[in-house]
Amino acid sequence: MNVLPLGQVKKGMILEQSIYRHDSLLALPLGIEIGERELDTLRYFTIDFVKVSDRKEKKSVPWYQKWKHQKEEERLTLSIIERACLQCMLWKKDFGYEIYSVIESSIYKYKKSIKYLNQLRKLDGYSFAQALNVSLIIASILTENQKCDEKIGLLIFFALMHNIGRVKNPELFKMEGKYSDEQFEELKQIPFETFDMLQTLGFSSYDVKFALEVNENWNGQGYPNKVKGSEIEEFAQYVTLANLYNALLSYRPYRSIYDPYDVLQIIESERDKKVGSQYIDIFLQRFTPYKIGSKVELNNDKFAIVKRIPGSRKFLPIVQLIDDEKGEYTTLVDLGMERDIRIKRVILAY
């Protein structure tokens, strides 16, 4: 393993560290092969130095050690999930341990799930990051007052597994641009693949019906079955909403990341289109993208600490500026009263 300047990182190398987004959720999981998409992402996040290894260093595994190697890979996947739960700025670190604990319990209970998740990570790191981020967003929405019972824990696990059918056609999700008609038909099969795979874990078709509906829209313009409104399972709508939030804060080669306030406006515009109004209301009531005490960078290149979060303006908190030279706290700024100042990113410690 080497630590290289970003300019020396080449396609085909293996990423040996997880990369986190500006909102503290996962951008790239460690252990994936670096391609052009991954290089674009690393450049966007201006990571100066990157831990990588050369594929040539990864020796082929003898047949008699493959089971052991598989278990090591699965433990790596679990460790990525654990770190993401603890790194997440949507809650205090102690609650991150609790969220990971409920996920881990479900993974050990439904034993094939870690095999599926490990496959997803290795085949398509972006889809793995999406699944993990959606599960953390779901956890934030469903755990009022940071209390997580067994039922909510299972829903967080389901959110983690909601796109697991992608392992059946990973190349489809590495493509850029618009899908052809034939590719879109393939895309519409993924919910059915997920539905079937979740049943292999021991769940009934009733338990995992949501998997068929996470791509359905409230107005009936989704897929695969074009169901609409209250015909769509409640949990599926939460997953749709979490996916929307995650997508808008994910880097794409053709666009930058939206700042959280703009994300809020886009989500509001999807009322009774992609997502029912009642689910958006609950999201806005419960979801807080920043926690008090978080260090943030503003779009005017100033740094600040989140001091207060008004109940009606969770995406526009009150922050206290930090003097660059002295490192002292100075002026309080209410972002809800400022037209041009927004939070650009949460400051993370790698």
Q: Are residues 50 and 70 in the same domain?
A: no
Tokens 């749709």: give the residue. Answer: 240
Q: Are residues 306 and 275 in the same domain?
A: no
**Residue 350's pLDDT band (boundaries 50, 70, 90)?**
very low
Mean pLDDT of 310-335: 90
Looking at the structure of the chain, the number of domains it has is 3
Q: Are residues 230 and 251 in the same domain?
A: yes
pLDDT in tens, 134-168: 999 999 999 977 788 889 999 999 999 999 999 99
Q: Are residues 276 and 300 in the same domain?
A: no
Q: Are residues 223 and 121 in the same domain?
A: yes
Q: Are residues 38 and 131 in the same domain?
A: no
**Residue 230's pLDDT band (boundaries 50, 70, 90)?**
very high
In this prediction, residue 56 carries a pLDDT of 63
pLDDT at 65 over 80: no
CA angle in degrees (0–180, nearest 5) for 96-118-179: 105
Mean pLDDT of 170-194: 90
Q: Is the dihedral of CA 246, 37, 171, 31 positive or negative?
A: negative
Could you list the residue range(s) of the whole structural domain that residue 309 is in?
Answer: 295-346
Q: Say if CB 160 and CB 152 are below 8 A apart.
A: no
Which residue has better confidence, 324 or 222?
222
In this prediction, residue 67 carries a pLDDT of 80
218 DSSP 8-state letter: T
Q: Are residues 304 and 283 in the same domain?
A: no
CATH number (domain holding residue 38): 3.90.105.10
Q: Are residues 184 and 320 in the same domain?
A: no
- 124-128, 168-172, 209-213, 304-308 — which is least confidently predicted? 168-172
**Residue 237's pLDDT band (boundaries 50, 70, 90)?**
very high
Q: Which one of 12, 27, 57 terminates a domain?
A: 57
Q: How far is residue 104's CA from residue 343's CA, in Å, rounded to a whole number?
A: 33
* Mean pLDDT of the chain, nearest integer: 92
Which residue has better confidence, 261 or 72?
72
In this prediction, residue 57 carries a pLDDT of 60
Mean pLDDT of 91-102: 93
Q: Are residues 225 and 116 in the same domain?
A: yes
CATH number (domain holding residue 248): 1.10.3210.10
Q: Are residues 272 and 303 in the same domain?
A: no
Q: Are residues 164 and 268 in the same domain?
A: yes
**pTM assigned to the model:** 0.93
Q: Say if CB 86 and CB 93 are below 8 A apart.
A: yes
In this prediction, residue 148 carries a pLDDT of 86
Q: Are residues 84 and 209 in the same domain?
A: yes
